[in-house]
Amino acid sequence: MNGNWVRHETIFVGRVQGVGFRATAQNIARRYPVVGFVQNLADGSVQLVIEGDPETCRQVVYHIADQMEDFIAERKMLSSDATGEFVSFDIRD
C-alpha cells in the first residue's frame, strides 16, 4: 500500500442489482491500481469499497457511475484513510 492511499466507500442506489453492476464494477476497477470489493446490500443498493490513490479512486467511481448511469438514482460517498486490508479487487456475495 502506498502512503498516500485513501479509502472510498460508495453506495449506489437505484435499480443496481440484477443488471450486471458488480461485474461491470469489477471489470472497471481491475483496469486501475486499486484494491477492494463490490457487493450487493440487503436494501437493494450496491456497496463499492476501493483503496488507492485519491485521484485514481475518483476516476474509478466516475467510470462506474458513467457506465451504469441508467441504473443509478443516487450515490453516497465517504472517504477515509486506507486500511491496507485488501490485496485485490473482488466481488463479494
Active-site positions read 22, 40
**Residue 8 CB-density burial (10 A; 0-12 exposed, 13-18 middle, 19+ buried):** buried
C-alpha 60 chain-centroid distance: 7
Separation of alpha carbons 17 and 45, rounded Å: 7
